[in-house]
């Protein structure tokens, strides 16, 4: 469990929530990102408790949030580059599910090609690099 109230106080970070059209008052997941001047940095990402484990309500919540970070990186002119620090036990998972690449210990990044694939998967209004 992360301290989201602290994230909201940090002026350098932007926090986003994922909801559904049918129920916009229930938060499915949260994402905290910042502009790192040549890429987007993901500080925190978390699914709602009911979207974790085998009995999750919705699949793809985290993927959707990461795709949003990638989309933001394209919109800012960073060629979709996103970086983050992974928990050690999740590095292989992020390599497999996001196409993320490790560098410098637990730091990982999502490169342009993989970022583009995620954006196309989750944002159907994406066309030829433009929204």
pLDDT in tens, 71-104: 999 999 999 999 999 999 999 999 999 999 999 9
- Per-residue pLDDT at 11: 78
Domain ranges of the chain: 4-122
What's residue 128's pLDDT?
A: 55
Instruction: Please provide residue 101's backbone torsions phi and psi, each rounded to the nearest 5 degrees.
Output: -120, 135
Q: What is the pTM of this model?
A: 0.90
- Answer whether 14's CB lies under 8 Å from 31's CB: no
Q: Is there a contact between 15 and 32 (Cβ–Cβ < 8 Å)?
A: yes
Strands of 40-47's sheet in order across = 14-18, 29-35, 40-47, 82-85, 107-110, 101-102
Token readout for 128 is 């030829």
- In whole angstroms, give the CA distance from residue 83 to residue 72: 12
Ranges of residues in the chain with a pLDDT under 70 are 1-4, 7, 127-131
- 4-122: CATH topology is Aminopeptidase (3.40.630)
- Say if residues 127 and 103 touch (Cβ distance below 8 Å): no
């Amino acid at each position: 469990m992360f301290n989201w109230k602290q994230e909201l106080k940090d002026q350098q970070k932007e926090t986003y929530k994922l909801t559904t059209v049918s129920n916009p008052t229930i938060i499915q997941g949260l994402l905290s990102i910042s502009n790192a001047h040549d890429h987007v940095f993901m500080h925190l990402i978390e699914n709602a408790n009911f979207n974790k484990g085998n009995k999750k309500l919705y699949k793809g919540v985290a993927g959707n949030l990461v795709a949003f970070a990638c989309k933001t990186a394209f919109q800012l002119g960073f060629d979709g580059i996103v970086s983050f620090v992974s928990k050690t036990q999740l590095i292989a998972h992020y390599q497999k599910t996001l196409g993320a690449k490790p560098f410098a210990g637990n730091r990982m990044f999502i490169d342009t090609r993989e970022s583009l694939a995620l954006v196309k998967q989750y944002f159907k209004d994406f066309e030829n690099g433009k929204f």
